[in-house]
Amino acid sequence: MTLNRLQGQSDVMAMTGEGQLDLQKENCDMRFNVRVLGGWKGEGKLIDRLKQTAIPLRIYG
């Protein structure tokens, strides 16, 4: 199964992703971009920058 243009969002994070799942062989290769939107302690330029920066995440195996 190929999954294209996955996306989700909550108050804490937003993500987009794509990849392949093979349920019969029980393996996957998924790539996500995660942005943390909330849950930070304090405020500042670094935190504002991190809220706009996507963190790449790959799940495979």
Please write the tens of the pLDDT for every residue from 7-40: 999 988 999 999 999 999 999 999 999 998 887 7
Domain residue limits at 43: 2-60
Is residue 55 within 8 Å of 35, Cβ to Cβ? yes
| pLDDT for the residue 43 | 67
CA distances from 43 to 25, 40, 51, 54 (A): 46, 8, 11, 19
| pLDDT for the residue 40 | 74
Domain total for the chain?
1
What CA–CA distance (Å, rounded) separates 47 from 61? 33
| pLDDT for the residue 51 | 81
